[in-house]
Amino acid sequence: MTSAPSTAASFLTTEASRALGEALGDGTAVAGLRASGAAALDGLAMPSPALDRPWKYVDPAALDLDGFTPPGTDSAAWDEALPAGALLLRDGATAGRGPSIDGLTLADFAETPDGALDRLGEAVAFDGDQLTALHYAFLRGGVLIQTKANAEIAEPVRLTREYSEAGTLATPHTLIVAGVNSRLTVIEEYRSGDEPLAVLPAVELLIGPGAVVNYTSLHRWGARTRVFAEQRAVTERDADVRSLSLVTGGRLVKSHITSSLEGRGSSSEMYGIAVGAGQEHVDFYTLQDHVAEDTRSDLLFKSALGEQSRAVYYGLTKVGLGARRADANQENRNLLLSRAAKADSDPVLEILTNDVTRVSHGATAGPVDEEELFYIQSRGLTREGAVGLLVRGFLGEPLDRSALREGVREELSGLVEAKLTALGSGT
Amino acid sequence: MTEAPLLEIDALRANVAGNEILTGLNLTIRPGEVHAIMGPNGSGKSTLANTLMGNPRYEVTGGEVRFLGDALDGMAPDERARRGLFLAFQYPVAVPGVTVVNFLRQAVNAVRGEEVPVREFRQELFQKMELLKVDRDFARRYLNDGFSGGEKKRAEMLQLAMLQPRMAVLDETDSGLDIDALRTVADGVNALMHENMGLLLITHYQRLLNYIKPQFVHVLIDGRIVRSGGPELAEELEESGYDTIEAAASTA
């Protein structure tokens, strides 16, 4: 490890980690990982923008967690009734829950029986770097979403996490375990206020044989929130995972999104949408990791950037020696809505077998195309209206492909719309 | 007394990327008239189409175009469209993410200057789709995205049908169409044409004119009209090509 700046600053110590675990009354699985994370804090470095490629465009100052305090341990006031399959957490504490659904476990880690969390940490390891160690050392607000074999959960599970405690480190953890041949849709929504906040979310998706999981994260963070998210899906045989990451707010939202296709015949679709304004920095690192034979992956990430915002996309498609007949596609498109906006795009292929069905990638960044504008204007729409239509179409494509049910699609497109309207891009 | 002209092009000169392409073009079109402008590659056909619609890449350097009596110079493309001018593009642009139905609805509302009720709009759309023998699934596809050449041209005609312009310019609408598709498109245009509307067909080949009959045919060489006549001029061109006329024009 390198001599990166030591964080684990003042308040985020091994002792503080232990105290948090005691106050929360950790079960076995969480206690073990918390201790491992805490023990690893000093030995692991912070990611280095100078040395670690996925971190290249992150301001090192953004990684300085000095002064941030561990998550609080207060319980939350119970919220009004929520619909079935909904769970609300405020500052890491459960604050509301809808009626339960057959075949589905939706629970705070603290409520789960012994053994239910055996697979915690399987997809996102505690010792990736100092940030993942911090995540586990200060884990607060873990949620288990688990389906029984063959369960088909018709309604989307809605997990909402709100943060309002200024100056804290937030560490949401979502563990999704899909049983054999089950069907599950999860929509996780993150929100925070305008106070400074650092968030280290981890999302683990363990997709059993033949299971189909659709996972959407809505990043609606406040203007002074910085986020370093780890999301990793691991598929078993013939499993399908589809994910969408929608970012409409946050000072810095950096997401690492991985699908490890470990089961033969499994597939992954990853979609990303970001609308940037002000000084916002949206940063995606994606990994399509083809491990097994006959695996398929597709990816489309799109950003529309206004004002001085910037988007970074660094995506890796890996086709391992054993991943014969892999089919992988990776596409990143960026639309610059102002001269000061900026996009960096770097799709990379790493192919170890020569027996692939298809491996392709593409990237673009630029302003709205003048010929497209002329075409649309020639049909009577003003220039502003034409820009608006093009931007909405541009961002609508990954939304369409996410195949979310109609009501949810409308809701998400409403979030995009609100952000675009605030940007003043078209009508 | 003849009716007031729809379109008057008066000694029009236009540049693209600093090169003068139109070198003094004159043309007047009145309601109910169908004109054809024929010319070889590079004669300025597409420049004329783009200049009429106000493509910002094309610069008018002299002369004037008046539409319904008003000078078009400096008018944005959308303003021209709202006044009733329509261009069917030779190469329509793909707009991924925007469905045909959504696009048409916005265009219709913009051109008519009012929100057309959804029910009414759909009825009209389906009726026009039937006229142009377009499958209903078409409406839900992204505009021109992955369309075949023929589908793109039909999508252009569907827009023409929905926007009901006073003056339509068809830029090489016959290119990329097989004979059946050409016949369908031509039947559609003929059905949409009426006595208050003007039509300008811009084409390299005479083929299209077998199906949409112009009263006036003009030959465009080096950015200006060198000969005008009736339908027989198109047949003459079909027989002898552009070389004879080009030679005559350069010695004239």
Per-residue pLDDT for A157 more than 80? yes
| Distance in Å, alpha carbon of B81 to nearest chain A alpha carbon | 5
Q: Which residues touch B103 (CB under 8 Å, ≥6 apart)? A: A376, A379, A389, B95, B143
Tell me if B107 and A381 make a contact (CB, 8 A cut-off). yes
Chain B residue with CA closest to A393: the answer is B97
User: Strand, helix or coil at B14?
Assistant: strand
What does the block give as tokens for A355? 């027996």
Q: Do A378 and B56 touch (CB under 8 A)?
A: no
Give the pTM: 0.90
Q: Structural domain boundaries of chain B?
A: 7-90+166-251
Question: Of the candidates B76, B81, B96, which has its C-beta nearest A379's C-beta?
Answer: B81
Residue A1 has pLDDT above 70, yes or no: no
Q: Do A378 and B78 touch (CB under 8 A)?
A: yes
pLDDT band per the 50, 70, 90 thresholds, residue A103: very high
The model's confidence at residue A5, banded by pLDDT at 50, 70 and 90, is very low
- H/E run at residue B174: none
Q: Do A375 and B89 touch (CB under 8 A)?
A: yes
- CB contact under 8 Å between A379 and B110, yes or no, is yes
Q: Which of B93, B97, B103 sits opposite A394 (nearest CB)?
A: B97
Q: Which residue is it, tokens 């906006």?
A: A341
The nearest alpha carbon in chain A to B158 belongs to A379
**Residue A234 CA: distances (Å) to CA of A66, A134, A291:** 34, 22, 10
Q: Which residues of B touch A371 (CB under 8 A)?
A: 93
Which chain A residues are closer than 8 Å to B87 by Cβ? 378
pLDDT of residue A426: 45
Sheet containing strand B216-221, edge to edge, reads: B85-88, B167-171, B198-203, B34-38, B216-221, B224-229
With CB atoms and an 8 Å threshold, state whether A390 touches B95.
yes
Residues of B with CB under 8 A from a CB of A: 53-57, 76-78, 80-82, 86-87, 89, 92-93, 95-98, 103, 106-107, 110-111, 142, 159, 163
Residues of B whose CB is below 8 A from A393: 95-98, 142
* Residue A4, pLDDT score: 44
Is pLDDT at A276 greater than 90 in this prediction? yes
Kindly state the average pLDDT of the residues A350-362.
95
Q: Are B103 and A389 an interchain contact pair (Cβ–Cβ within 8 Å)? A: yes
pLDDT greater than 90 at residue A262 = yes
A204-222 per-position pLDDT tens digit: 999 999 999 999 999 999 9
User: What is the C-alpha to C-alpha distance for residues B217 and B232, in angstroms, rounded to an integer?
Assistant: 8
Is the predicted pLDDT of residue A78 greater than 90, yes or no?
no
Q: Would you kindly state where each structural domain of chain A is located, as residue ranges?
A: 14-263
- Residue A83's CB: how many other CB atoms inside 10 A? 9
Q: Is the pLDDT of residue A371 over 70?
A: yes
What is the predicted pLDDT for the residue at A425?
52
Pick among B52, B78, B164 to test the A interface (most A CBs inside 10 A):
B78
Least trusted range by pLDDT, from A87-91, A113-117, B56-60: A113-117
Picking from B79, B91, B106 by the largest number of A CB atoms within 10 A of its own CB, the best residue to mutate is: B106
Question: Are residues B111 and A379, on separate chains, in Cβ contact within 8 Å?
Answer: yes
Contact A385 B92 (CB under 8 A): no
pLDDT at residue A9 is higher than 80? no
| Per-residue pLDDT, B252 | 57
Determine the residue type at B4. Answer: A
Cβ pair A393:B76 closer than 8 A: no
Q: Which of A379, A387, A394 best tests the B interface by mutation, with the highest count of B CBs <10 A?
A: A379
Query: 10 Å Cβ neighbour count for A223?
Result: 16
Are A191 and A219 spatial neighbours (Cβ–Cβ below 8 Å)? no
Task: Determine the Cα–Cα distance for residues A290 and B70; give it in Å rounded to an integer.
Answer: 63
Shortest Cα–Cα distance, B98 to chain A (Å): 5
What letters, b where the CB count within 10 A reaches 16 and e where it falls short, cover A260-277?
bbbbbbbbbbbbbbbbbb
Query: DSSP state, A45?
Result: P
Contacts of B98 in chain A (CB under 8 A): 389-390, 392-393, 396
Report the candidate in A388, A373, A394, A396 with the shortest Cα–Cα distance to residue A424.
A388
Residues of A in contact with B106 (CB under 8 A): 381, 385, 389
With 0-12 / 13-18 / 19 or more C-beta atoms within 10 angstroms meaning exposed / middle / buried, residue B53 is buried
- Judged by CB atoms closer than 8 Å, whether chains meet at B95 and A386 is answered as no
Give the per-residue SS3 of A274-319. Answer: EEECCCCEEEEEEEEEECCCCCEEEEEEEEEECCCCEEEEEEEEEE
Question: Residues A299-323: what's their mean pLDDT?
Answer: 97
- pLDDT the model gives residue B2: 65
Percent of chain A at pLDDT exceeding 90? 91
Interface test with B, best of A331, A370, A374, A420 (most B CBs within 10 A): A374
Distance CA B44, CA B218 (A): 13
Q: What percent of chain B has pLDDT over 70?
A: 98
Q: For chain B, how far is it from start to end, CA to CA, in angstroms?
A: 33
Closest Cβ–Cβ partner in B55, B78, B98 for A380: B78
Model confidence at B49, pLDDT cuts 50, 70, 90, reads very high
Q: Is B92 exposed, middle or buried (0-12, 13-18, 19+ CB in 10 A)?
A: middle
Say whether A374 and B55 touch across the interface (CB within 8 A): yes
Looking at A212-216, A243-247, A405-409, B84-88, which range is the least confident one? A405-409
Say if the Cβ atoms of B78 and A372 lie within 8 Å.
Answer: no
Q: B114 to chain A nearest CA, in Å?
A: 12
Q: What is the rounded distance in angstroms from the CA atom of residue B204 to the CA atom of residue A153?
A: 60
> Which of residues A3 and B216 earns the better pLDDT score?
B216
Chain B residues close to A400, C-beta within 8 Å:
97
Statement: residue A53 has pLDDT above 80: yes
Provide the pairing of β-strand B216-221 with B34-38.
parallel
Tell me, what's the pLDDT at B249?
Answer: 76
Residue that the structure tokens 């015949």 belong to = A265
Res B210 pLDDT > 80: yes
Q: How far apart are CA A18 and CA A41, in angstroms?
A: 13
Binary contact (B56, A379; C-beta < 8 A): no
Q: What pLDDT score does A427 carry?
A: 36
- Alpha-carbon distance of A303 to B220, in angstroms, equals 45
- Residues in chain A within 8 Å Cβ distance of B145: none
Q: What is the mean pLDDT of chain B?
A: 94
The CA distances from residue A277 to A305, B20, B111, B192, in Å, are: 6, 42, 32, 46
B128-149 per-position pLDDT tens digit: 999 998 888 999 999 999 999 8
Select the residue of B92, B96, B107 nearest A397 (Cβ to Cβ): B96
Residue of B55, B81, B92 with shortest CB distance to A380: B81
Residues of A in contact with B96 (CB under 8 A): 393-394, 397
Q: Nearest by CB to A372, which of B80, B93, B106?
A: B93
Mean residue pLDDT across chain A: 94
Q: How many angstroms separate the CA of residue B18 from the nearest CA in chain A?
A: 18
Tokens of B186: 């031509």
CATH code of the domain occupying B7-90+166-251: 3.40.50.300
pLDDT band at A403 (very low <50, low <70, confident <90, very high): confident
